[in-house]
Amino acid sequence: MLNHHAHLTPLSEIKATIEFQLSLTKDQISLNYSIDQSLGSKFIKNFSSNNLTLSNSMTSTPRRDYLLLKNCFEFFIKAKDSPSYLEFNFSPKGEWNVFHFSSYRKNKEIYKALELSFFEHKVQNNKIHYNYKLNGSTFQNFEHYHSTAIIYDGKKPNYFHELGHISLKPDFHLFPKDM
């Protein structure tokens, strides 16, 4: 079992972070994102307006493509001793998808071995929390993982990252060994 906690920091002048927590077992991935009110009411409003309600949980939400064109949380995990990796995408509404790549941005296909088993979003302690749980098989031996978020301010995306990217428009498909 792996437990990981990180703060996603912005690549722009926004003065805020997003908390990220990961729990990974042989058959379940649990991802939690917490958005502090320091993001400002505009961002909280943007996230809230994309939600069903501010306190809701579900056990079935649809897979969707192109979630990164709106507010989106992303998670990447790479197999040990292999160029293949998974990309997870989640919307604040609970829409989601997982893609498998055979190597850097190559042969993208929907990864069907995982299913979203739980989605919840709630306001607690001046934060909006988004919790996602997926059941199924995943990498047993993984080497690298990291999380990101894309929050739109109107039409402009603001990127939040866990890794130290040096570009203003990072390539989150890169892992530390590839940089």
Q: What is the CATH number of the domain that holds 58?
A: 2.60.40
Domain span at residue 75? 2-178
Alpha-carbon separation of residue 98 from 66, 72, 115, 134, 138 (angstroms): 11, 13, 9, 10, 11
| Percent of residues, the chain, with pLDDT higher than 90 | 23
Q: Alpha carbon of 151 to those of 14, 24, 32, 84: distances in Å?
A: 11, 25, 16, 27
d(CA 114, CA 30): 12
CB 79 within 8 Å of CB 142? yes
Task: Please give the pLDDT value at position 107.
Answer: 92
Sort 169 into a burial class: Cβ within 10 Å, 0-12 / 13-18 / 19+.
exposed
Q: Tell me: pLDDT of 125 over 70.
A: yes
Q: Which of 33-47, 93-107, 158-172 has the highest mean pLDDT?
A: 93-107
pLDDT at 54: 34
40 SS3 class: coil
Range from 11-20, 66-75, 91-100 carrying the lowest mean pLDDT: 11-20
Please name the residues in contact with 49: beta carbons below 8 A apart, sequence gap of 6 or more.
none
Rounded to whole angstroms, the Cα distance separating 49 from 71 reads 11
DSSP 3-state of 63: strand
Q: In 39-172, which ranges are continuous DSSP H helix?
A: 41-49
Under DSSP, the state recorded for 83 is S
Number of domains in the chain: 1
pTM, entire model? 0.84
Is the predicted pLDDT of residue 57 greater than 60, yes or no? no
Confidence at residue 117, expressed as pLDDT on a 0 to 100 scale: 87
pLDDT, averaged across the chain: 79
Mean pLDDT on 112-118: 89
pLDDT of residue 30: 93
